[in-house]
Amino acid sequence: MDNRFGKKFFFISALLFFTLFVGFISIARSGDTHSAYYSSKNDRIFWFIQMSDIHIGARGTQDSQNLQWIVTDAKNIIDPGFIVASGDLTDSTNGNIFGFPDGPYQEEWNEYRAILNQAGIDASVYYDIPGNHEAYNDHDFSYYLANSVQGQATGQTQISWTREFDFGKYHFLGINTADNTGDPFSLFFPWGDHAGLDENELTFIHAALEEHRDTDITLIFGHHPVTDTGYSTDTWLFYGQEQIIGYLDSYGASLYGYGHTHRFGEDIFSGNSYTGFMQGEGIYYFNIASLGKSSENQYSIIAVDCNGISILTTNVDTWPAVLITAPLDKDFGGAMNPYAYTVPSLKRNPVRALVFDPNSLTGVHYRIDASGEWLLMNPVPENPHLWEAVWDASALPEGEHSVEVRAASASGTSTALILVNVVPPIILPWLPLLLL
């Protein structure tokens, strides 16, 4: 072999290795919301369930039935890594006709725990945090600590946990945004709900974030929105706002998921003019509706695929449940998702979707740009819930395109749709020169 060619080959190989190595290091930075990457690897995925505002004890609702469904049917079918319950676990009304929280009531807590105990739920798979209905007339959160899954297990009102895989380590934090005064419910704003984070709570949060700097991404859950929502009936964090926004920013949290409003909403949160804006591009700001008091958007499946976050919000006992996990959606609640990667116009791009159904699936298909042909997806042998295919984007014009996945079974047919940006593949301008 010509010696000059050998040197060039060695140089190119070394340079490409260095480029890939640097790229891998950039992917693995802790707390980096830009760490999501588009890959054909189908074994770097996990998922979990989030719900909120269960309101056990509320009059005229499906609270108990819906919670029971989540921890039995949904848990068995979806097989989540864990379940997050972000506050208002009980209603503190004991079913009174006016619906005013005047508790806490042990009867409600007994019902809550009976449902979980019968389903074999424990602290390793279920993370419940307080909401404002746990704070009314209970300054020390004594009922929460004595009866909730995590209160009993940890003796605390805030929780921090991790999940570690051979492809990465992930940190989760449940924070107690509920009122710390023990005030009763009031008919006057803010309804006895002086939500916020006091010094002790902020110290816990800071220590947990500092301890887990080495994780790939961090997701945080609370009960209240961080700032004013613009709705006169809502409450939010009245103290500790600036500090928690600073932590979300400086530690590179990827998501803040909350409940409280009984409305569904998705946005990219970057602070506001009152608290100051975050230095980064913001985080996923995710508001889930009520499991117990809402008729739709009752719970969410959140997946992490190659560090990219995807969310399906759906209704109790609605199947199939379809969640596209790769590529990432460039849209998040009508806002541009700054953490979605672009898709190269290549012949073999991966598309992956999680599909959940109690019945056998009769087909899972995908198509590009709505008018395209529906093409078959294949199950991943090692993961019974994951389906994949490769799609040819080489002839697509640069710009926005849609990707749809449709699943069918005896339960019915469901379709998920995302938007992506297709761009020409990166060409290294120096590579042809090395071949001279």
**Domain segments of the chain as ranges:** 45-318, 319-427
CA distances (Å), origin 377, targets 130, 201, 358, 404: 41, 47, 19, 11
Structure tokens at 102: 């005047």
Q: Please give the single-letter amino acid code of residue 208.
A: A
Annotate 28-42 with DSSP letters as a single string. Answer: T-TT-TT-----S--
Nearest partner of 128 among 105, 163, 154, judged by Cα: 154
pLDDT tens sequence across 363-394: 999 999 998 899 999 999 999 999 999 999 99
Q: Are strands 126-129 and 83-86 parallel, antiparallel or unpaired?
A: parallel
**Confidence class of residue 280 from pLDDT cuts 50, 70 and 90?**
confident
**Confidence class of residue 427 from pLDDT cuts 50, 70 and 90?**
low
- Rounded to an integer, what distance in angstroms lies between the CA atom of residue 83 and that of residue 317? 17
- Rounded to an integer, what distance in angstroms lies between the CA atom of residue 304 and that of residue 82? 13
45-318: which CATH architecture? 4-Layer Sandwich (3.60)
pLDDT of residue 31: 55
Nearest partner of 401 among 315, 296, 331, 352, judged by Cα: 331
- As a whole number of Å, the CA-based R_g of the chain is 24
Q: Is 126 helix (H, G, I), strand (E, B) or coil?
A: strand
Contact 359, 410 (CB under 8 A): yes
- Length, in residues, of the chain: 436
Q: What is the pTM of this model?
A: 0.91
CA of residue 270 relative to chain centroid, distance: 17
> Which CATH topology does 319-427 take?
Immunoglobulin-like (2.60.40)
Q: Which residue has the tokens 């500092």?
A: 210
pLDDT tens sequence across 301-322: 999 999 999 999 999 999 999 9
pLDDT tens sequence across 187-238: 999 999 999 999 999 999 999 999 999 999 999 999 999 999 999 999 999 9
CA distances (Å), origin 412, targets 317, 322, 362, 408: 12, 12, 10, 6
Q: Quick check: 150 pLDDT over 50?
A: yes
